[in-house]
Amino acid sequence: MGIKVDPKKCVSCMACELACGYHRDDGFALLSSCIMVTRGREKKDYSAVVLKEEENLVIARPEGLEIRKLGSTGEASSGREKEDASAKPLLLREPCDLCGDREEGPLCLQFCPVNAISMN
């Protein structure tokens, strides 16, 4: 069981990132969030959602889902020489614990205004 992101519904509002940071630090600290919204520079209105799980980095883009295994050094290994720099800050953060201490479930699901995040 984990979090599922539908990037075609995502409007890049960053509510999930803010909610996750709040859950972890009791303040709106984006640097502690295990979910991150990235925006593309080449395409207008293009975004992706990156989620750090215990063993994977899940990247949900409009063109599809990509799962990268985290290596022993904490870096994503995908067989490519040049990694996407947008995911680098997330590698240093704690993995998603599905807000295990909350009876209501993950806070990001509760605050996503367009229901782009769900449980699978």
20-37 pLDDT tens trace: 999 998 888 788 899 999
State phi, psi for 35 to the nearest 5 degrees.
-125, 140
Average pLDDT, the chain: 83
Q: How confident is the model at residue 118 (pLDDT cuts 50, 70, 90)?
A: very high
The number of beta carbons lying within 10 Å of the beta carbon of residue 68 is: 19
| pLDDT surpasses 70 at 85 | no
What's the pTM value of the predicted model, to 2 decimals?
0.80
Q: How far is CA 65 from CA 7, 8, 39, 55, 115, in A?
A: 9, 11, 16, 16, 17
**Alpha carbons 4 and 33: distance in angstroms, whole number:** 16
pLDDT at 14 over 70: yes
The domain limits of the chain are: 3-119
Going 57 to 78 to 7 to 87, the CA torsion angle's sign is: positive
Q: How much is the pLDDT for 28?
A: 84
